Amino acid sequence: MRDPRTPPRPSIRPERFRVRFVRATAEDADRVADLARRTFSDAFAHRNPEADFAAYLEQAFRPERIRRELSDPAAEFLLGLVVPGAAALPDVLRLFTEQPFGYCKLVHGRGNDSVPAARPLELQRIYVEQAAIGHGLGTRILEEALLRGARGGHDWIWLCSWDSNDDANRFYQRHGFRLYGFTEFVLGSDRQIDRVLARRLPRTAHGAAARRVPTRRGATAQG
């Protein structure tokens, strides 16, 4: 029982507002490139040598390249939007009823030697706009990825995360990912160490029955 002298702790993950996900198509290449470039820059520009970073941005986020990625049938870009109408929606999130608060890129069937998957799903990118961080929206995107992975019949989900990205590594750990190996990531001329993190997805009959995917203690992704 809670000590009556302790004020109630605000719940950090209330279902205060709903979000929805839209799969981007090649026609969305310009705005996806813009979102991907901006969120990557906001997260990492200040932590990397300027020239290496500029070189990487130039090659990784060109609209033509993103268009090619969007046209790959194995790739799934999900854009997250806040559903308008919730009275409790914080002002700072109203913008994201019209434009995505973040996105992820999934690659179906792409494996990694360190991960013992028969039907792997790669979470290649997950990014939330700076203004939207701190509202549990990264969790919402990850839950959607887990749900789609389980429904799609995948048995494992894996990703690469910069060894020095402590916040993201804690986020993944909270959501059940564990370390399976290390790999190299080249940013311009800079060679960096990435962690290979992975977790199992629940087994379902033909992938169709996964309605709730446990993500962390006591929480589930709702189908």
Ligand X SMILES: CC(C)(COP(=O)(O)OP(=O)(O)OC[C@H]1O[C@@H](n2cnc3c(N)ncnc32)[C@H](O)[C@@H]1OP(=O)(O)O)[C@@H](O)C(=O)NCCC(=O)NCCS
1 binds ligand X (CB under 6 A): no
66 binds ligand X (CB under 6 A): no
219 binds ligand X (CB under 6 A): no
How far CA 188 is from CA of 39, 57, 114, 194, 197, in Å, comes to 18, 9, 25, 15, 23
| Among 100, 120, 138, 207, interactor with ligand X by CB under 6 A | 138
Cβ proximity to ligand X, 20 vs 203, nearer residue: 20
75 binds ligand X (CB under 6 A): no
| Among 108, 135, 151, 195, interactor with ligand X by CB under 6 A | 135
145 binds ligand X (CB under 6 A): no
Number of chain residues interacting with ligand X (CB under 6 A): 19
Pairing mode, strands 178-187 and 75-82: unpaired
Q: Which of the residues 19 through 48 are near ligand X (CB under 6 A)?
A: 43
The contact pattern for ligand X, residues 85-124, with x = CB under 6 A and - = no contact, is ----------------------------------------
137 binds ligand X (CB under 6 A): yes
| Among 60, 81, 107, 133, interactor with ligand X by CB under 6 A | 133
Cβ proximity to ligand X, 13 vs 203, nearer residue: 13
Are 26 and 67 contacting, i.e. CB atoms less than 8 angstroms apart? yes
HSE-CB at 146 with a 13 A cutoff on CA atoms is 27
CB of 217 to ligand X, least distance (A): 12
How far CA 39 is from CA of 18, 90, 111, 125, in Å, comes to 22, 21, 25, 11
CA distance linking residue 200 with residue 3, whole number of Å: 38
Give the residues lining the site for ligand X (CB under 6 A): 12-14, 43, 126-128, 133-139, 161, 165, 167-168, 171
